[in-house]
Amino acid sequence: MASDGIVIRTSGLTKTYGKVSALKSLDLEVAKNSILGFLGPNGAGKTTTIKLLLGLARPTRGGGQVFGRDIQRESVEIRKRVGYLAQDPRYDEHMSARETLRFTAGFFFSGPKDAIEERIEETLNLVGLEDKADRPIKGFSGGERQRLGIAQAQVNYPDLLILDEPAASLDPQGRRDVLEVMERLRKYTTIFYSTHILDDVQKVSDTVAILNRGELVAQAPIGQLLAGSGGIVYQVRLTGAGESVQARLAAQPWVTSVAAQPASGQTAWDVAVTDSEAAEDQLLRLILSDPAVRVAEFGRRKYELEEVFLQIVEGGRHGQQ
Amino acid sequence: MASNSVLQPVRDRGWLHGFGNLVRRENHRWWGTRQWIVQILIWTLIVNGILAMLLISAKDAAAQARNEAVREAISEQQAQQGDAEAAQALQADFPLPVEGVMVFFIFLGMATGVGVAILGQEAIVQEKQTGTAAWVLSKPASRIAFVLSKIAGNALGILVTMVAVQGLVAWVLFRTIGGVSLPVGGFIAGLGLAYLNLLFYLLLAIMLGTLFDSRGPVIGITLLLLFGFQIFTSLAPWLFKVMPWILVMSVGEDTLAYATMLALGQPLPSTLPIIATALWCLVFAGVSLWRFSREEF
């Protein structure tokens, strides 16, 4: 582990295939024990980044470190502490889930045999495959394969779990199960996972990085990203003539603008402020001081991740640091 | 992550990291499934089935010839010593079946060569195509260990199912049907050359598997070298000296395959094809390791 608590650090990490730039000078940091949701549309470079981190592909330029070790020169040492689930996990079809986990564990543990078997059993229980542990994988459904993928990724007690689209092929129940497993593991490990299911990211991630066309366009704690970066905005819905209070608000030194528009028989205000504490203390009181208005809704504006994501990917700058 | 302090970590180092585990996986593919039974049955039927038929028909022909000889001896020399000669002819050993040994080694080299080509192309290309290679290499396994485990696992499987078992069955057939006890040392040495010939095609297919991403060129080039020896040697006759063909194939009417010579206890005219084949194997293995270490997934 790097002494500064950073598990993954890339610097100018670049990958080109012929004339196609899959990844353009990626500078990324992932803190210890965080769950980082790695977002991006298809072809954004998410899987390429993961392959570079695992030594499955070589950077064209730049480099990176995992646990303070170089991703090119010390790849095997890095992989001793990593669990990886591929986007479309493939195993030896003639093997059973238990044999697959035994084979995986064989890369990490030499014995004792009983302890290894116990660990395999624990892992099977964790993902709910204990009943199908001895059936050949060729009969597994997509969801069962994905569960097996998670099981094999964490059989070695990894310090870093890298999951490439872990819930992409799952039904809602399977997705929920995967997210639960991730939640359970977060206190032990750092989780770096790519996805395009924004709901999942919002549920479990504490940090988000967004990749678009090979470029990192945003990386921030999810709270910060959802709050937006166009300033602090409060949303107020009210009824009654509010012109005088609107003018009074606009005169406050911590208010930068008040935008009003009609909304279903009410008026919707977006009040942009520079000081959230002053706003929390005074904004609602100021509005209610005018007996001509009645407040129906009041609150700080929060963005849905999908909204933020689309704005960023389509060229907006919400959440960009 | 929370760990179990009882578990002992693997101590592999450097380029051998993961080798033991990967070899166990290859061995499981051979010996933990029906593969070994299937391979033994196929090659016993093809290689030794043909040998058995040849020996039976040769025995019938020899018996017929013996009967004719006896009849002639009885009719022509019955008055003086016919009875004695007839008795001697009836007790004569079955002649040493050179053709049988020759055919055995040709089939052992060529027919099983097809099987080896198929196994060799599956070893790398199939794993690249299905994505299992990427999965395995996301674990702490070196790429050198990956390729070496493929070579070691398949080399052992081929040795047992295609060479040792077939050699044993053939020796028993020569003994029981042919009535001939081939010299054990020479026969094993002949099998060794046949094995070297198969290793050549195994390593060639593995090397091609690291160079290409599809099965076509891998199996195509391997089979071309396996069966195209007449074309190549008609263009450049010296190729016989530096390729494995003469180890199991007869060249012209006078020269027996080297494996046949050894099995019959005859001296070899040259060791150059043996050395050259071994060197080719080393080159193929070296190129495989070099290329696979640069593979991207």
Nearest to B7 among A55, A107, A109 (CB): A109
Interface contact A115-B4, CB threshold 8 A: yes
Q: Which helix (H) or strand (E) holds B206?
A: helix B184-211
- Partner A contacted by B38 (CB < 8 A): no
Count other Cβ atoms within 10 Å, centred on residue B82.
16
Q: How many CB atoms lie within 10 A of CB B270?
A: 10
Which residues of chain B does A84 touch, with a Cβ-Cβ cutoff of 8 Å? 138
Query: How close A230 gets to chain B, by Cα (Å)?
Result: 38
Compute the distance between CA of residue A238 and CA of residue A261 in angstroms, rounded to an integer: 11
Q: Write out the two tokens for A6.
A: 């950073």
Contact of B131 with chain A, judged by CB distance below 8 Å, is answered with yes
Is the CB of A145 inside 8 Å of chain B's CB atoms? no
Of the candidates A219, A150, A165, which has an alpha carbon nearest to the alpha carbon of residue A195? A165
Residue A277: Cβ within 10 Å count: 9
User: Which residues in chain B are contacts of A77 at CB distance < 8 A?
Assistant: 140
How far B145 CA lies from chain A's nearest CA (Å)?
12
Give the model's pLDDT for residue B158: 98
Instruction: Please spell the DSSP secondary structure of A246-273, one letter per residue.
Output: HHHHHTSTTEEEEEEEEETTEEEEEEEE
Distance CA B27, CA A106 (A): 14
Amino acid at A200: D
pLDDT at B79 over 80: no
* Contact partners, residue B43, CB within 8 Å, separation at least 6: B111, B112, B115, B161, B162, B165, B166
Q: Measuring CA to CA, which residue among A303, A278, A159 is closest to residue B2? A: A159
| Residue A307 vs residues A199, A316, B103: alpha-carbon distances, Å | 12, 10, 75
What pLDDT score was predicted for residue A320? 43
Q: What angle do CA A168, A316, A197 make, to 5 degrees?
A: 10
Bridge-based pairing of strands A82-85 and A160-164 is parallel
Give, rounded to a whole angstrom, the gap between the first and last alpha carbons of chain A.
26
Q: What does the block give as tokens for B74? A: 């009885």
What integer pLDDT is reported at residue A319 of this predicted model? 42
- Cβ–Cβ gap A109/B24 under 8 Å: no
B4 in A contact zone (CB under 8 Å): yes
Backbone angles phi, psi at A263, to 5 degrees: -150, 100
Distance (Å, whole) CA A66 – CA A52: 11
Short-list B153, B144, B160, CA closest to B122: B153
- A216 DSSP 8-state letter: E
| Cis peptide, bond prior to residue A112, ω within 30 of zero | yes
Q: How many CB pairs under 8 A join A and B?
A: 98
Q: Which of B204, B211, B11 is nearest to B113 (CA)?
A: B204
Sequence length of chain A is 321
The residues, ordered by sequence, that sit 6+ positions from A56 with a Cβ below 8 Å of its Cβ are B134, B137, B138, B296, B297
Rounded to two decimals, the ipTM of the complex is 0.81
Which residues are within 8 A (CB) of A309 and not within 5 positions of it... i.e. 6 or more apart?
Answer: A39, A198, A210
A-chain CB neighbours of B8 within 8 Å are 109-112
**Integer Cα distance of A87 and B133 in angstroms:** 14
Q: Are A58 and A13 in contact (CB under 8 A)?
A: no
Per-residue pLDDT band at B63 (split at 50, 70, 90)? confident
Phi, psi for residue A66 in degrees, rounded to 5:
-125, 130
Q: pLDDT > 70: what percent of chain B?
A: 89
Chain B interface, best mutation among A1, A73, A107, by max B CB count within 10 A? A107
* Predicted pLDDT of residue A318: 43
Number of H helices, E strands in chain B: 16, 1
Average pLDDT over residues B98-120: 94
pLDDT along chain A (321 residues), means of 10: 82 95 96 93 94 97 97 96 92 93 96 95 92 94 88 94 87 83 86 88 90 92 75 86 86 91 87 88 90 89 78 60 43
Closest CA to A234 of A297, A321, A317, A304: A297
pLDDT recorded at residue A173? 82
CB contact under 8 A, B8 and A92: no
Nearest-Cα residue of chain A relative to residue B6: A115
| Smallest Cα distance from A23 to chain B, Å | 15
**Inter-axis angle of helices B165-176 and B98-121, to 10 degrees?**
160
Select from A91, A103, A188 the Cβ nearest to the Cβ of B2.
Answer: A188
Residue A171, phi then psi, degrees to nearest 5: -80, 170
Token output for A96? 């059973």
Q: Cβ of A53: how many Cβ atoms within 10 Å?
A: 26
Q: What is the mean pLDDT of chain B?
A: 89
**Residue B94 is encoded by which pair of tokens?**
């079955």
Q: What residue in B sits closest to A53 (Cα-Cα)?
A: B138
Q: Name the token pair of A116.
A: 């290894």
Q: Does A104 touch chain B (CB under 8 A)?
A: yes
Q: What is the pLDDT of residue B178?
A: 87
Interchain proximity A108–B3, CB inside 8 Å: no
- What's CA B259's distance to the chain center, in Å? 11
At B250, give phi and psi (nearest 5°): -80, 140
Residue B173 has pLDDT above 60, yes or no: yes
Amino acid, res. B225: L
Q: Are A269 and A238 in contact (CB under 8 A)?
A: yes
The model's pTM is 0.83
Say what the pLDDT of residue A304 is. Answer: 75
Answer whether A56 touches B (CB < 8 Å).
yes
What strands lie across the sheet with A160-164, from one edge to the other?
A82-85, A160-164, A190-195, A35-39, A207-212, A215-221
Is A242 at the interface with chain B, CB within 8 A?
no
Interface check for B1 against chain A (CB to CB < 8 A): the answer is: yes
Q: Is residue B255 scored above 90 in pLDDT?
A: no
